[in-house]
Amino acid sequence: MLYVKAPAKINLTLDVLSKRPDGYHEVEMIMTTVDLADRVGLEPRTDQEIIIHSTSNFVPDDQRNLAYQAAKLMKDTYGIEEGVSITIDKQIPIAAGLAGGSSDAAATLKGLNELWKLHLSLDQIAELGAQIGSDVPYCVYGGTAIARGRGEKIEHIGAPPNCWVVLAKPTIGVSTAAVYGGLNIDQIKHPNTQAMMDAISTGDYAAMCSNLGNVLEAVTMELHPEVASIKEQMKRFGADAVLMSGSGPTVFGLVSNEVRTTRIVNGLRGFCDEVYAVRMLGEREFLD
C-alpha cells in the first residue's frame, strides 16, 4: 500500500474580480496548507476497478468521490490497464471550505503517478487536476500560494509568519456553488491582497492579521448565521484575527501563543463539535 498525505488549506484572502462567461468566477486568493490531513492509501488491483473505502459515512464511495474521479482521469488519460483500491482516512471536516475532497484528489493523482510509473511533473499533475476541480491544482503543490483564474493558476510565495491556527466548523455543510451564486459582484468589499503579500514577505504577523479578508464570508453568513456567532466567540476567547475559510462554513482564528490557543479551543468546544488547533505548514518542502 502506498500512502499519501492530503492536507487541508485555509484562505488568508479570497477576492472575486468578475463573473466569467463559463459560470465560474475570476478569483485572486492566498492559500496556505495546515497540518490537518487525510491519509490516502493506494493499492494496485489486477482488475480494472476503482474501489473507494473511506472512514467517514458522509463521503461518497462511488464516482462522486473526487479521489475516484482523479483515478479515473489518470487511468483514461494514460490508458492504464489496471485498477486501484483507494482508502481514505478522513480527518478533514467535510464540505467545510478546507478543500478536503480536492486534497484527496490531488494526493490520488500524485500517488498514482508513482504507482503507475508515469513520471509526470507536478505541473503536469496540477494541469490534470484542474479538470476535477478549481482547488485541485493548488492542492497538488500545497504550501503557500496566490491562486488566480478560477483558482488553477498558481504562483508560489514564501511561508507566512509562524502562529497557531484554531479551526472551528459549525455542524452545517455548505455548497460552494450556492455561495458563489449568492455573491453580488457590485457590492463586494475587496480585501487588500497586495498588503497580505507584503505582510507575508516581511513576516509581519500584525499586518497578516489585519489584512485577512474573504468576499464569500458575507454570503455564507447570510445563509448560516452560525458562522458569525462562531467568529464572535473566537474573538471573545482571544484570537488575534478571525476569518471564514473558502466558501465556509469553517472559521479559523490566528493566535500568536500556545496558552491562548488552548483557552480558545477549550472555550469553543462548548459551542462547536469540530474544533482543532493546527500549525501552518508554510513552505512546500516541509509538507511530507
Beta bridge partners of 88: 40, 54
- Applying CB under 6 A, the residues found at the interface with ligand CDM are 11, 14, 23-25, 27, 29, 99, 102, 133-135, 150-151, 176-177, 180, 246-247
Picked from ligand ATP, ligand CDM, none, the partner binding residue 161 (CB below 5 to 8 A depending on kind) is: none
Least distance in Å: CB of 242 to ligand CDM?
17
Check residue 100 for interaction with ligand ATP (CB under 6 A).
yes
Q: Which residues are catalytic, by number? A: 9, 135
Using CA atoms of 32, 33, 34, 35 in order, give the dihedral in degrees to the nearest 10.
-160
Cα separation, 1 vs 98, in Å, equals: 26
Is 165:277 a contact under the CB 8 Å cutoff?
Answer: yes
Of 288, 283, 286, 285, the closest CA to residue 32 belongs to 283
DSSP 144-177: EEEEETTTTEEEE-PPPPP-EEEEEE-S----HH
Check residue 246 for interaction with ligand ATP (CB under 6 A).
yes
Q: What angle do CA 54, 1, 117 make, to 5 degrees?
A: 115
Position among 17, 80, 94, 183 found at the interface with ligand ATP (CB under 6 A): 94
Of 57-65, 209-217, 218-226, 272-280, which segment contacts ligand ATP by CB under 6 A?
57-65
Of 25-33, 98-106, 158-166, 188-196, which segment contacts ligand ATP by CB under 6 A?
98-106
Picked from ligand ATP, ligand CDM, none, the partner binding residue 59 (CB below 5 to 8 A depending on kind) is: ligand ATP
Position among 99, 107, 244, 275 found at the interface with ligand ATP (CB under 6 A): 99
C-alpha cell of residue 170: 459549525
Cα separation, 238 vs 259, in Å, equals: 10
Least distance in Å: CB of 119 to ligand ATP?
26
Position among 34, 50, 70, 97 found at the interface with ligand ATP (CB under 6 A): 97
Check residue 183 for interaction with ligand ATP (CB under 6 A).
no
247 assigned to a ligand binding site: no
Cα separation, 115 vs 107, in Å, equals: 12
Is 180:214 a contact under the CB 8 Å cutoff?
Answer: no
Check residue 111 for interaction with ligand ATP (CB under 6 A).
no
Q: Which residues make up the interface to ligand ATP (CB under 6 A)?
A: 59-60, 64-67, 88, 94-102, 104, 135, 173, 176, 246-247
